[in-house]
Structure 1
Amino acid sequence: MPAQVSAEWVRGAVVAAQRIPPPAGPAEYEDAASVLRGMGLIQLDPLTRVSTAQRLTCLTRLPRQARAEDVDASLWPADHPVSFEAFTKVACVFPLEDWPLLRLRREAVRERHGHKVEPHVRERILELVSAHPGGAATGTIEAEFGPERTTGWHWSQVKKATELMVRMGDLVVTARRGVVRLFDLPERALPAAVHEAEHLPPDELRAGLARRAAGALGVMSVADFAHHYHLSKGDAAHGVELADLVPMEVEGWRETVYVLPSALEHEIDEAGLGPVREARLIGPFDPLLRDRRRAQRIFGFDYTFEAYVPKAKRVYGHYVMGVLSGNQLIGRADLWRSRGELVVNQMWPEPGFPRRSAEARTTAAAKTLARQLGTDLRLP
C-alpha cells in the first residue's frame, strides 16, 4: 500500500528539489553547468524582455552574487563541452552525460521522420560539418546549398534538414559562438565514455530517464514525466515501472506520484510562507512553471504566458514572472529590462495572500534579480 502524503508535503519536496539557496548560503550549485547537471534539462527561449530563459532559470538556483553574463559561458564553455542542445517538445539544453538517456527518443524521431531528409542532402551536410572543426553554423551550411537563408521564423529547407538531423542524432550541438549554435558530429564532439553508454539496453535507458526526471522534479506523476521529456503516456508509465521509484498517494489527488527512495531520507519542510528576503522570481520557462497543469496542481497557480496574446486581451502582462516564497507561489509581476533598469510594471498577489506581504516579497525578489542582471531597479 503506497504511503499517503499531504499536498503541503508535495509542495515542500518539489521546492526542495530545486536547491534554491537562501541569501546567506550555502549554495549547492556554484555555476550554471552544475545547475544543469542537477536539473537534467533547462528550457531555452530567445525572448530577452527580462533575460533569456536559461539565465533566469540558473540565476534562481545560484548564489545572490552570481551574474547573468556568466551563465552562457558556463553552459557553453569554449574549451570543452558540458552540454548538448536537443528538443523535448521545445528546445532545451541537457548535461552532456545525459546524451545516452535520449537515444530511444532519437531513434523514434528517425523512424517517423527520417525519410524527410534526402540521402544526398544528409551526406552533403555531414561533409560540410566534418570540414569545420568545432562545428558549423546554420549560415555556413546554407551557403553551400544555394541562396535560400533562414530569417526569423522562416527556416530554409537546409535548416529544416539540419535540425531534423540533430533530433535524429546525426548531428549534435554542444557549442555556441555567441548566440550562434554550432552543429557538430557526435563522434567528434562527445566523449568516448558517453558514446559507450549510449549502447546500454533500452530498459536501462528508460529506467535511467525516469530516475533522472524524478530527481529533478522531486515528486512526479506519470503525466509529469511524460510532459518533462515529451514522452507518450505509455512510454512514461513503462519507464516509471522499471525505475524502482517509491509510489505515494496524495490527499485529494487522483494521480499516484513517485519519488526516488533517497527523497524519503530527508525531512521535508511543509511550512508555507518564507521570509521576505528569501523570495525569488520564477521565469515562465522555469521547471516550476513550464508545465502549466503541474503548477496549477501543486501550487494552485494558474499561469498563462501572455507575450503572444494581443495586448488588449492580456490579463496580467507581456512578461509575467511568478513570486516564490517558501513553498508557495504567492504572487506575480510583469517586468521588463530597459536601458540599464529592471522595471516592475505591476505586481499582483495570489488569492488569499495579503497585498502588502506579497508586494514586499516581490520587491525583495526583484532586487535580487536586478543585482544579478547588473541593472538598477524601478518599482511601480
Structure 2
Amino acid sequence: MRGAVVAAQQIPTPAGPNTYADAAEVLAGIGLIQLDPLTRVSTAARLTSLTRLSRKHTAGDVDPALWPHGAPASFEAFTKVACLFPLSDWPLLRLRREAAQQRHGHKLDPTVTGRIRDLVAAHPGGVGTGVIEAEFGPERTAGWHWSQVKKATELMVRMGDLVVTARDGVVRLFDLPERALPEPIRRAEQLPADELRAALACRAAASMAVMTVTDFAHHYHLSRDDAALGIELAELVAVRVEGWRETAYALPETLEQTHDAGTGPAGHARLVGPFDPLLRDRRRALRIFGFDYRFEAYVPRAERIYGHYVMGVLSGAELVGRADLQRVDGTLQMNQIWTEAGVPKRSTDARARGAHRTLAAQLGVDPI
C-alpha cells in the first residue's frame, strides 16, 4: 500500500528520467500544491515540485512554469489553506465556490464588491492587493492583519467572483474569471453537479492511490457527506486496509498495478517538504507511513522536539528519517538528522546526505 501511495506521486530518482517535464506538469499530475511563503529552505510550491523533478531541474524553473506569462497554467484557491490547482480543475471546485457563496455572500457589501470588480476590470492581466487597497483608503494589510478590503477581495476569490491565475513576482494578481479563464474551462463548469462530484473524487483517488472518506474530505476540505457522495458517484472500489478503521477506496486501475515497496537504493532518496501531499495531512502520514510529523517553525525553540524546518527523508516507499535544514549565504545547511525507529542510523544518514545534495543542486547552493 505504501508503494502505491508513493507511486501515485511519480517521484523519480534524482538523476533518472521523470514523468513530469516541468512544475506545471507536476501540478497537473498531482492536482494540488499547498502554498506557504516560508523560505527557510524554499517555498512550499518549489519544494513540492522539485521533489517530483530530477536533479537537472532548478528552483528558478518552478515559478515561471506554475505562473507563466500568457496562457495561465493554474489558479489559486482554498481548501482549508491556500493551494494551487491546475487550470483544468477549475470546474471541479464549482460546488465549493457555490458553498462559499451561500456561507459568506451576505457578509459582503455590494457597493464594495462592485468597486473592486470595476478596479480589477480596469487592469488587464490583473491587479495586486496593494492597488485595490489604495482605492479605498489608508488601511493596509500587514502580516496576519488583513484590511477589510483584503478580506472582501479574498472572499470574492473563494466565491469565484475573482480568480488568481498569475503573479507579479510574489504578488498575487486578482482578475475576472471571464477574462482570465479560457472559454472551454468556463463551459465545463456548467456540468451537472453529480458529474463534478464524481470527477473530483476520481482526481483525489488518482493522486492519493488509496483514500478514506476522511482523507478525501481533508484533501479538498469537504464535508464528510459530500466526500462520501463523491466516492459513491465515482464508483470507486472499496478496499480493506489492515489496521485502518475506515474503509478505503481506490480507482480500479490502481488495484491492478503492483508497486515496489521497501527503502530502495540510498542514492535515490529524496527530501519531502512539510506541506508536500505526502505530509500535509499529518494523520494520514502517520497511518500510512508510521511517520508522526509536527511542523515546529511556530513552536518556541525550547519546546521543539526536532527543529525549525524539518523535512522527511523518503527512500523508496518509506519515510526513514527527518532532517532540519536551512539555506544560509549560498549554502543548504543540514543542522541535524533523526532516524525513524527500526531504521539503522548509518543507513538514514547516507540517504539524508544524498537527498541533501540533490536538493542543494536544485536550489543552486552548496550542501554543508
Q: CA deviation at 1:117?
A: 1.1
- Does residue 225 in structure 1 map to residue 216 in structure 2? yes
- Does residue 364 in structure 1 map to residue 354 in structure 2? yes
Q: CA deviation at 1:265?
A: 3.1
TM-score, normalising length from structure 2? 0.99
Aligned to 1:16: 7
Match of 1:170 among 161, 174, 177: 161
Q: How big is each residue's C-alpha offset from its partner over 1:212-240, in whole Å with a ceiling of 9 and x where there is no partner?
A: 00001111111100000001111100100
Q: Map 1:93-172 to 2 at 5 A.
A: 93-172=84-163
Aligned to 1:295: 285
Q: CA deviation at 1:242?
A: 0.4
- Does residue 84 in structure 1 map to residue 61 in structure 2? no
Instruction: Indicate conservation of the 8 Å contact 1:129/1:183, yes or no.
Output: yes
Q: Map 1:185-200 to 2 at 5 A.
A: 185-200=176-191
Aligned to 1:65: 56
Instruction: Indicate conservation of the 8 Å contact 2:14/2:270, yes or no.
Output: no
Aligned to 1:26: 17
Instruction: Indicate conservation of the 8 Å contact 2:15/2:56, yes or no.
Output: no
Q: How big is each residue's C-alpha offset from its partner over 1:272-292, in whole Å with a ceiling of 9 and x where there is no partner?
A: 111000000000000000000
Instruction: Indicate conservation of the 8 Å contact 1:342/1:375, yes or no.
Output: yes
Aligned to 1:281: 271
Aligned to 2:321: 331
The residue type paired with residue 71 of structure 2 is H
Q: Report the Cα distance in structure 2 between the residues aligned to 1:20 and 1:277, rounded to whole angstroms.
A: 14
- Does residue 316 in structure 1 map to residue 321 in structure 2? no
Q: How big is each residue's C-alpha offset from its partner over 1:235-262, in whole Å with a ceiling of 9 and x where there is no partner?
A: 1001000001111111222221111112
Structure 2 SS opposite 1:25: coil
Q: Report the Cα distance in structure 2 between the residues aligned to 1:22 and 1:363, rounded to whole angstroms.
A: 15
TM-score, normalising length from structure 1? 0.96
Aligned to 1:5: none
Equivalent residue pairs, number: 368
CA RMSD of aligned residues (A): 0.7
- Does residue 307 in structure 1 map to residue 286 in structure 2? no
Q: CA deviation at 1:80?
A: 1.3
Q: Report the Cα distance in structure 1 between the residues aligned to 2:211 and 2:141, rounded to whole angstroms.
A: 39
The residue type paired with residue 228 of structure 1 is H
Structure 1 SS opposite 2:206: helix
Q: CA deviation at 1:25?
A: 2.3
Runs of 4+ in 1 over 3 A off after TM superposition: none
Q: Report the Cα distance in structure 2 between the residues aligned to 1:189 and 1:120, rounded to whole angstroms.
A: 23
The residue type paired with residue 293 of structure 1 is R
Aligned to 2:34: 43
Q: How big is each residue's C-alpha offset from its partner over 1:118-176, in whole Å with a ceiling of 9 and x where there is no partner?
A: 01001000000000000011011111111111111111100000000000000000000
Structure 2 SS opposite 1:281: strand
Aligned to 1:4: none
Q: Report the Cα distance in structure 2 between the residues aligned to 1:317 and 1:258, rounded to whole angstroms.
A: 35
Q: Report the Cα distance in structure 2 between the residues aligned to 1:272 and 1:218, rounded to whole angstroms.
A: 17
Identical-residue share of aligned pairs (%): 71
Structure 2 SS opposite 1:151: coil
Q: Report the Cα distance in structure 2 between the residues aligned to 1:229 and 1:337, rounded to whole angstroms.
A: 31
Aligned to 2:341: 351
Instruction: Indicate conservation of the 8 Å contact 1:30/1:63, yes or no.
Output: no
Match of 2:171 among 168, 180, 193: 180
Q: Report the Cα distance in structure 2 between the residues aligned to 1:71 and 1:37, rounded to whole angstroms.
A: 13
Instruction: Indicate conservation of the 8 Å contact 2:310/2:324, yes or no.
Output: yes
Q: Report the Cα distance in structure 1 between the residues aligned to 2:187 and 2:298, rounded to whole angstroms.
A: 43
Q: Report the Cα distance in structure 1 between the residues aligned to 2:217 and 2:234, rounded to whole angstroms.
A: 14
Q: Report the Cα distance in structure 2 between the residues aligned to 1:146 and 1:23, rounded to whole angstroms.
A: 51
